[in-house]
Amino acid sequence: MSHLILVIFLLLLVFSCSSSSNVDTDSITVQEVMRIIDGDNEEYFLLDVRTLEEYYGDLGHLPDAKLIPYDEIAGRIDELVDQKDKKIIAYCRTGRRSSIATNILKKNGFNVYNMTGGMKKMKEVYPTF
């Protein structure tokens, strides 16, 4: 079992290092996310891929966002099947982990976008959020 965990960790590490230059990741700005949240009538689903502590931490989380940590995405894709016809907006603290999650979900047929800059950028642009 420990060998399997080590292999998964190494794959995630390799994938995360290569994903920063991956041009396949579709992104969305915090301004576009706020426009969608504020009601442009677009079907969307918010996916927070941080840890539980971060979700409830200083930066907060987006309203009605589902929490699935990025390193659990591959094993929990079945929880997102009902969201396949919606625009999924994935986010984390800065956008790195959500980029990884976005790539995994895209490879599984989801319409998913990475919120660039993450919650750190959201708080920078919208300090009272």
Domains of the chain with bracketed CATH: 2-125 (3.40.250.10)
- For residue 40, the model assigns a pLDDT of 67
Task: Please choose, from the candidates 30, 27, 58, the residue with its C-alpha nearest in 3D space to the C-alpha of residue 121.
Answer: 30
Q: Is the pLDDT of residue 15 over 80?
A: no
**Side chain identity at 7, as an amino acid letter?**
V
Q: What is the pLDDT of residues 75-102, one digit of tens each?
A: 999 999 999 999 999 999 999 999 999 9
pTM (two decimals): 0.80
52-63 pLDDT tens trace: 999 999 999 999
